[in-house]
Every structure is written in structure tokens, then in C-alpha cells.
Amino acid sequence: MNGKLMGHPRLSNFRSLQTLRLKASSWIEDGLDKLTNLRKFGINGDVSSHHKALSNAIEKWCNLRSLSLRNSSSIPPFVSFAHYLNLCKMFLHGRIKNLPKKPPNLAKLTLIGSQLQQDAIETLEKLRNPRVLRLEQEPYCSEKMICSSGGFPRLEFLVLDSSNLKEWIVEEGGFPCLEFLELNCSNIKEWIVEEGGFPRLEVLELDYSNIKEWVAEKGALKSLKKVMLGPHAHLKTHPKQIVHLLE
């Protein structure tokens, strides 16, 4: 059974349901954990007063493939997703204290307004399978971000949108498989790409970025083919590797 439920039914009457998308309300407390056949689940609205019920329910949905929580002031703390072999897509809109742990086959992750710290970035970059990562609308609340060597091992597509970020360091060999990067960081001053960073990056899109110091060490950005500058992008300096792409 698939579809959308209208109103506030007793969810325990729909145990065979596979797809559920509703606005957040008190129904979250009424039998949500009984829907153990869910494959796709989405809520639009604030779930901050229902964290416990929602977390308890999600813990039982081992067949879940897609999870979407939109427009909430905060996201509930999650249990480990290590045994969620089918979970491939997550969209989380709201402040996050604890990131989802170890989803083994997660391919696409969108985090909006998450207000993450550096330790959360260290958790994200250890995920083995994400191909697409979108960090948007104040996903990061620190001024400095460090991405480690070999981090984000299979990531191919990244959007980073943070007005708080002022310094971004990508360590040696960072983002080994990334092919597309969109950077929208209006207050970024320094971007350091260490030796061999972004070795497969082909397309770079910059907008709302005011980079005063951009350094790319030897072997970094070696596959870059296209740089797109939006109307709000301002580069005080740029690495020699991309001069021919800006002409």
C-alpha cells in the first residue's frame, strides 16, 4: 500500500503502508512505530516536541529506503543505522545535535540548517558510500572547516552553502572522487587545497563567495575543466591552475 494519508487517522490501521508523507502533528505519537513496512517516510513541520516517539519509530523501520524531515526547528537524535541496508536517501532540515550513524548504503544526503560543528564533519567524511552531499542554509556554525586526507571517499557531488565559514582547508588527497563542487560561502576569506586535493574535480561553481586567498598546492585540481562564476562571486586571488579557465 502506498500513498498519502489525510487528516489524523490511527496509523496502526495501516500496517502494510510503504509510503507515508504528512504534516507534523500529534499523530506522530499514535502508532507510528507499528508501520514496520515503511520504505519511504516524510514529515513537513516541526517535530521538536515528538523526538522520542519519532526516534522510537524510526528504530523499527529496518526496510526504510528514504527519510525526509523538513522544516523542523530540530532533528531528533538517531540510533545507529548500521543495519539499515536499504536506506539510500536522507533529507534533514533542522538543527542536528547527533548525526545519523553508519548508514552503510546511504547514497544521497541533504542537510539544511543543521548548524554542525567540526566533529560532525569528521563523522560525515567517514561515511563510505554517499555520492551526493548538500550542505545548505547555515549547515555549519564554525568559522573554520578542515576536511581530512581521504575523507568523503566516494563523494561525487557537493554543494556547500554557509555564510559562517571563513576558512576551508582540504588536506592532501581530500575528496578523491569529487567531480562537481558548488561553493556559496559569502564570508569565506581563505581556501586552502593541499597537494593532490580534488584530483577528479571537473566542474567548480562559485557564487556568493568572496575569496581573498585561494591556494591550490601541487597536483590539486588537476582535472578541473570548467569554472563558473556567478554574479555574486568575487576572487581577489586564484591559483595558477585555473588561470586558463577564467580567461
Q: List, for residues 79-115, the tens digit of each pLDDT value.
A: 678 888 999 999 999 999 888 778 899 999 999 999 9
| Torsion from C-alpha of 157, 159, 165, 169, nearest 10 degrees | 10
Residue type at position 7: G
The verdict on residue 234 lying in a domain is yes
Total domain count, the chain:
2
In a domain, 114, yes or no: no
Check whether residue 242 and residue 159 sit in a common domain: yes
Q: Give tens-digit pLDDT for 181-191.
A: 999 999 999 99
Residue 132 inside a domain? The answer is no
171, part of any domain: yes
Give domain status of residue 128, yes or no.
no
What pLDDT is stored for residue 205 in this prediction? 95
Q: Are residues 152 and 247 in the same domain?
A: yes
Q: SS3 for 18?
A: coil
Q: 134-168 burial, b for 16+ CB within 10 Å, e for fewer?
A: bbbebbbebeebbbbbebbeebbbbbbbbebbbbb
Does one domain contain both 41 and 100?
Answer: yes
β-strands 210-211, 226-229: how paired? Answer: unpaired
C-alpha cell of residue 28: 506522530
Measured distance CA(217)–CA(204) in Å, rounded:
17
Decide if 111 is inside a domain.
no
Say if 236 falls within a structural domain: yes
Judgement on whether residues 97 and 184 belong to the same structural domain of the protein: no
Show the domain range for 36: 1-6+16-106
Q: What are the residue ranges in the chain where pLDDT is below 70?
A: 1-13, 79, 247
Supply the mean pLDDT for the chain. 89
* Strands in 56-143 per DSSP E: 66-70, 89-93, 108-112, 132-136
Question: What's the pLDDT score for residue 3?
Answer: 46
